[in-house]
């Protein structure tokens, strides 16, 4: 982790903790790490290894990119978009999709007993 990423990591950890109105010991307990380790992360003295960074981001409910300053979004944009779309289409009925479903006159390929499966007629 670069010095800049380490600084962002320390700042973002502290921001997340303060926003949740917790003290360092409480966050360390939730993360399952010693308070001294958490304090070292938050003070920029120590940096987690990549596996620990992923674990911390997951437990804190944010992305690794957010923790390291590569993004200002706590969660990847795709996640929010996917969940928003899934929530919307969950209630769509099959009949509503009928106009958007392509109609095929014949299958794209037909099994030909002489040539084996997957060959189109005339190929």
Domains: count for the chain: 1
* HEC readout, 62-100: CCHHHHCCCCCCCCCHHHHHHHHHHHHHCCCCHHHHHHH
- Would residue 77 count as lying in a domain? no
Q: Which residue has the tokens 């010693």?
A: 34
Using DSSP's 3-state secondary structure scheme, residue 5 falls into helix
pLDDT at 2 (0 to 100): 77
* Structural element, H or E, at residue 16: helix 3-19
- Would residue 47 count as lying in a domain? yes
pLDDT at 44 (0 to 100): 92
pLDDT at 24 (0 to 100): 95
CATH number of the domain to which 44 belongs: 1.10.260.40
pLDDT at 70 (0 to 100): 86
pLDDT at 29 (0 to 100): 94
Residue span of the structural domain in which 54 resides:
3-67
pLDDT at 84 (0 to 100): 61
- Would residue 104 count as lying in a domain? no
- Would residue 73 count as lying in a domain? no
pLDDT at 103 (0 to 100): 61
- Would residue 120 count as lying in a domain? no
Say if residues 67 and 6 touch (Cβ distance below 8 Å): no
Closest CA to 47 of 37, 55, 57: 37
- Would residue 91 count as lying in a domain? no
- Would residue 55 count as lying in a domain? yes
Which residues in the chain come in under a pLDDT of 70? 76-92, 94, 97-123
CA angle 97, 102, 108 (to 5 degrees): 140
pTM above 0.85, yes or no: no
pLDDT at 92 (0 to 100): 67
pLDDT at 93 (0 to 100): 72
- Would residue 43 count as lying in a domain? yes
């Amino acid at each position: 982790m670069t010095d800049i990423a380490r600084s962002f990591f320390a700042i973002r950890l502290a921001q997340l903790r303060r926003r949740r109105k917790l003290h360092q010991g409480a966050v360390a307990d939730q993360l399952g790490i010693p308070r001294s380790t958490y304090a070292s992360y938050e003070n920029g003295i120590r940096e987690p290894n990549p596996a620990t960074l992923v674990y911390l981001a997951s437990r804190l409910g944010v992305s690794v990119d957010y923790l390291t300053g590569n993004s200002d979004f706590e969660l990847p944009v795709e996640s929010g978009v996917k969940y928003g779309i899934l929530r919307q289409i969950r209630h769509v009925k099959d009949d509503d999709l009928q106009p958007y479903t392509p109609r095929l006159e014949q299958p794209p390929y037909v099994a030909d007993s002489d040539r084996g499966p997957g060959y189109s007629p005339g190929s």
